[in-house]
């Protein structure tokens, strides 16, 4: 295999950032399922699941941006700049690149609606967010067939692993109910975690606290 030269730098950059984008998007989808099922990453605080889901998606957009820009700038193949967002209009491999454009369009829609969440109705945001699965499938097929990179060797195993992971996550999401603490009892459950009491309705008292002394001005 030839090394990266000045003429092939953009091509390698596009392929490399493409692989990273796919990995990031896979991670985001897996985290999204975890957020929905109110799961946790072992050993990490609860907010990390949502926070990582959001931050990785933004990082993914950065890598996708580099991926498409280097692909357009690369002189070896002709890809019109409009083909980035308008599917199937590229001169080079219009079908596979078109799927990439579809994926990008969907991801942009997801990111923009999520940033504007305070201003739009929750129902609209949620129904749009279902398209994330379509975005991932589109990205996967685009990745597999736009170049031969993912069709052999280590990258093929990586692709198979990503596919199996998302498949497993979807099956888990469909089959497992969320942790069924009724909403009304959630705050009580958290409160009980803080200071276990037999009766959550009992008023707090200094004597309940194991090992605590009474205030000094009481004897």
For the bound state, the minimum distance from the C-beta of residue 195 to other proteins, rounded and expressed in Å, comes to: 6
- Residues contacting other proteins: total by CB under 8 A: 34
For the bound state, the minimum distance from the C-beta of residue 35 to other proteins, rounded and expressed in Å, comes to: 10
Q: Indicate whether 44 belongs to the interface with other proteins (CB under 8 A).
A: no
Three-state SS string across 189-203, please? HHHHHHCCCCCCCCC
Q: Indicate whether 218 belongs to the interface with other proteins (CB under 8 A).
A: yes
The end-to-end CA distance of the chain, in Å, is 85
Q: Indicate whether 210 belongs to the interface with other proteins (CB under 8 A).
A: no
CA distance 109 to 128: 8
For the bound state, the minimum distance from the C-beta of residue 208 to other proteins, rounded and expressed in Å, comes to: 9
Give the contact letters, 164-203, x = binds to other proteins (CB under 8 A), - = no. -----------------xxxxxxxx-xx-xxx----xx-x
Nearest residue (CB) to other proteins, 95 versus 187? 187
CA 173 from chain center: how many Å? 15
Please choose, from the candidates 78, 79, 87, 77, the residue with its C-alpha nearest in 3D space to the C-alpha of residue 108. 87
Q: Which residues in the 49-68 window bind other proteins by CB under 8 A?
A: 50
For the bound state, the minimum distance from the C-beta of residue 48 to other proteins, rounded and expressed in Å, comes to: 12
Inter-residue long-range contacts of 66-74, CB under 8 Å, 24+ positions, other chains counted: 66/13, 66/17, 67/14, 67/17, 67/18, 67/21, 68/14, 68/100, 68/104, 70/10, 70/11, 70/13, 70/14, 70/17, 71/10, 71/14, 73/10, 74/10, 74/11, 74/14
Nearest residue (CB) to other proteins, 134 versus 197? 197
For the bound state, the minimum distance from the C-beta of residue 116 to other proteins, rounded and expressed in Å, comes to: 11
Contact residues for other proteins, defined by CB under 8 A: 46-47, 50, 119-122, 181-188, 190-191, 193-195, 200-201, 203-206, 209, 212-218
């Amino acid at each position: 295999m030839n090394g990266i030269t000045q003429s092939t730098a953009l091509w390698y950059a596009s392929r490399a950032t493409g692989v990273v984008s796919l990995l990031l998007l896979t991670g985001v989808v897996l985290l999204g399922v975890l957020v929905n099922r109110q799961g946790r990453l072992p050993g990490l605080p609860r907010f990390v699941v949502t926070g990582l889901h959001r931050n990785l998606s933004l990082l993914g957009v950065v890598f996708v941006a580099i991926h498409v820009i280097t692909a357009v700038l690369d002189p070896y193949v002709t890809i019109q700049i409009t083909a980035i967002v308008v599917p199937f209009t590229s001169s080079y491999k219009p079908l596979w690149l078109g799927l990439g454009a579809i994926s990008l369009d969907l991801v942009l829609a997801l990111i923009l609606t999520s940033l504007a969440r305070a201003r739009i109705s929750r129902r609209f945001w949620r129904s749009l967010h279902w398209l994330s699965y379509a975005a991932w499938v589109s990205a996967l097929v685009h990745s597999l067939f736009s170049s031969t990179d993912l069709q052999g060797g280590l990258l093929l195993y990586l692709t198979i692993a990503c596919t199996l992971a998302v498949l497993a996550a979807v099956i888990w999401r469909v089959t497992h109910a969320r942790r069924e603490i009724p909403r009304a009892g959630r705050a009580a459950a958290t409160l009980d975690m803080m200071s276990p009491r037999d009766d959550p309705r009992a008023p707090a008292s200094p004597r309940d606290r194991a090992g605590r002394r009474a205030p000094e001005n009481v004897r």
